Structure 1
Amino acid sequence: MSKRHSAKHKLDRRLGENIWGRPKSPVNKREYGPGQHGQRRKGKVSDFGIQLRAKQKLKGYYGDVTEKQFKHCYEEAARMKGDTSQNLIGLLERRLDMIVYRAKFAPTIWAARQLVSHGHVRVNGVKCNIASRRCYVSDEITLGSKAQEMALVLEAQQLAEREVPDYVAPDGNAKVTFIRVPTLDEVPYPVKMEPNLVVEFYSR
């Protein structure tokens, strides 16, 4: 399992955007970057810089995805038929930890990953502790009985800041069905994501 080596909100401040839409994000209070030079006027960003920023934002949004995993995801999306940027979003949204997060079983992407890695999630009735596992259309994802009573899970289900998207169909409080691979427009990102720039970054 990959490990987060820095505070997650550092990414928010570096990018100057509340990329997870969380009320505790420091960007809500300080819109400038971190460090003693954070309030300096920013110079003109090159095309490469814009593409790199788009890649860092999308990769950062998905939590502890490593650069190797993310690039592999892009390469697979490029081999698939159709629009590479849409394929990339579809592959990222099919990760088990993301479906757990979208189903509001966990308040954050990291908490969703932890729920999976601690064995609290079942896919089609079989326990799975691999957060990056790819889910397929009509897969049923359920929470274990212990997890249903966790304060973390109960807190997540009360969150008003996000809704369960249409491509994840809830069945009660502890079960969802993945009904289709989403397009970019369907994914409820709190900020604008530009996967087309990510494709440009990797296809240089």
Structure 2
Amino acid sequence: MTKRTSAKYKLDRRMGENIWGRPKSPVNRREYGPGQHGQRRKGKVSDFGLQLRAKQKLKGYYGDLTEKQFKKIFVEAERQRGDTGELLIGLLERRLDAVVYRSKFVPTIFAARQFVNHGHVTVNGQRVNIASYRVGEGDVVEVRDKSKQMALVLEAAGLPERDVPDYLEVDHSKMKATFVRTPGLSDVPYPVLMEPNLVIEYYAQN
């Protein structure tokens, strides 16, 4: 399905949390980290460690973005007027791969990136194959006709572990989603606690 299958499970275990809420996450069976030293008792985490962990968790949730990609989004959020943490979440949720994932067109954020890159999605009727493409309020994202019967698309719509958030209007019979509004932190259905305030602290000190 995606090149990142093993990496996403390692990310879950490294964080010690099931960050996507998937039933097959190894954290459901083993709460310790990966590797031969994963079962060692955890010591007290420093403030820097907490900030780094918050950044890695948020960055990982959106398909394990590169540091360059993530920091670019953070810098843009910081330049805008308003709450930087809320703006950061809004910008991340406006990524096309995130919208495809939230709309339950595919089962994972990693699959969403690949799905977009392979040209299976249109925005306002125009094919877009850039996962980082920024969706605007009122934009219509749709699975192309020839892709609507793909196995992963049919599988995703029936997944019970997550719901479509209310800032999207989705018609699964047509495989079409409208991005109604830009969400804030409290609107986003994260399975685990995300702390963008710690991400801001991390970049302020590093």
TM-score for both structures, normalised by structure 2: 0.95
**Relative to 1, partners in 2 of residues 1:24 and 1:80: Cα closer, same or farther, differing over 3 Å?**
same
Shift of 1:170: 1.2
Letter in 2 for 1:92: L
Letter in 2 for 1:186: D
Matched, 1:108 2:108: yes
Shift of 1:34: 1.5
The answer for unaligned runs of 5 or more in structure 2 is none
SS at match of 1:7: helix
**Post-superposition CA distance 1:99-145 (Å, at most 9, x none):** 00000000000111111101010000000000000010000001101
Q: What is aligned with 2:76? A: 76
Q: What is aligned with 1:146? A: 146
Q: What is aligned with 2:179? A: 178
- Measure, in 2, the Cα distance between the counterparts of 1:22 and 1:79: 34
Q: What is aligned with 1:94? A: 94
Q: What is aligned with 1:46? A: 46
Q: What is aligned with 2:17? A: 17
Letter in 1 for 2:197: N
Matched, 1:189 2:190: yes
Paired residues in the alignment total 202
Q: Percent identity?
A: 69
The residue correspondences of 1:115-126 to structure 2 (distance < 5 A) are 115-126=115-126
Q: What is aligned with 1:37? A: 37
- Measure, in 2, the Cα distance between the counterparts of 1:90 and 1:32: 32
Q: What is aligned with 1:135? A: 135
Q: What is aligned with 1:199? A: 200
Letter in 2 for 1:200: E
Instruction: Tell which deviates more after alignment, 193-202 or 3-12.
Output: 3-12
Letter in 1 for 2:190: Y
Instruction: Tell which deviates more after alignment, 29-38 or 79-88.
Output: 29-38
**Relative to 1, partners in 2 of residues 1:162 and 1:134: Cα closer, same or farther, differing over 3 Å?**
same
Shift of 1:171: 3.0
- Measure, in 2, the Cα distance between the counterparts of 1:37 and 1:68: 29
**Relative to 1, partners in 2 of residues 1:66 and 1:4: Cα closer, same or farther, differing over 3 Å?**
farther
Alpha carbons 2:4, 2:110 under 8 Å: kept: no
Letter in 1 for 2:131: A
Alpha carbons 1:4, 1:64 under 8 Å: kept: no
